[in-house]
Amino acid sequence: MQKRTLGIDGLEVSALGLGCMGMSFGYGPAGEKNEMIAVIRAAFERGITFFDTAEVYGPFTNEELLGEALGPFRDDVVIATKFGFKLDLTTGKHAGLDSRPAHIKAVADASLKRLRTDVIDLFYQHRVDPEVPMEDVAGAVKDLIQQGKVRHFGLSEAGVAAIRRAHAIQHVAALQSEYSLWWREPEAEILPLLEELGIGFVPFSPLGKGFLTGKIDESTAFDAADFRSTVPRFSPEARKANLALVGIVDGIARKKGLTPAQIALAWILAQRPWIVPIPGTTKRHRLEENAVAASVELSDADLHEIESATSQIAVQGARYGEAAQRWINR
């Protein structure tokens, strides 16, 4: 698989990464550990070297899973994890934000143990904390980099001002935010800023939380532990309306002998050479399907067709509920 570079300090990763959250958290019951280890190792065999996790995924269990799965080839992969949430250990849920420097450093030490490593390759602030100056956050990560515990600094769902302030203290290697054919908000202000500053972009949910695969419709039933059951964009009414977008992507995919997921990922990869999407999956055959997208080349005519067709569709429903939306920094 081809490589791409995130940030001006040269963090090299595979063109496609693997988002591992859903293996432990968020999309229903956690996967069986040995099966998930097999999927992670299959990703590495397929050329994927960039793996994404966070302390809150589980909490903690996803980092532990990656630590075990990636141990045999730790030196050949890039592990990204995150800090920034306050955790209620009695409920296993996050209870607000906490990016105080002391907390950041405590999270780093705990994550290093769970990941069975002596360095975190990419350490993201999971959400911007309005109570802690960004200069203090970036300074704390800079200290961790100087101590050799972290290699690169990242932000997630951060706005323009926060990115600039952080980057002035410690180079930001990558911004992680949602981006796909059905969520294109980053194009307005975020992508131009990242290009200006030389920061890489790591889109999560590049397949629209599974919707762009074409495997979800208005009759799909979500598990009670699946967060999509609370997302306005996944209400039955919104799903029914949004199938128009999937139909367009599916039609283009059929003409090229590809799947909707492969078109959706190839479209993202074609937007900028410093964009690295991290689709998640718990299934080996989906992993194989997604990996093919890294070698799909869309022509200018293909991209124009996709742009022209999808621009006619107004996607229905907010991408987050109110509780989660308040943590987005724009």
Euclidean distance between CA atoms 76 and 72, whole angstroms: 9
Residue tagged active-site, from 27, 57, 124, 179? 57
Structural contact between residues 155 and 181, judged by C-beta atoms closer than 8 angstroms = no
Give the whole-angstrom CA distance, residue 160 versus residue 142: 20
Residue 57 annotated to the active site: yes
Tokens read off for 195: 């290009």
Cβ pair 104, 62 in contact under 8 A: no
Helices and strands, counts by H and E, the chain: 11, 11
Length of the chain as a residue count? 330
**CA contacts within 13 A on the Cβ side of 305:** 14
Contact 128, 158 (CB under 8 A): yes
Active site residues: 57
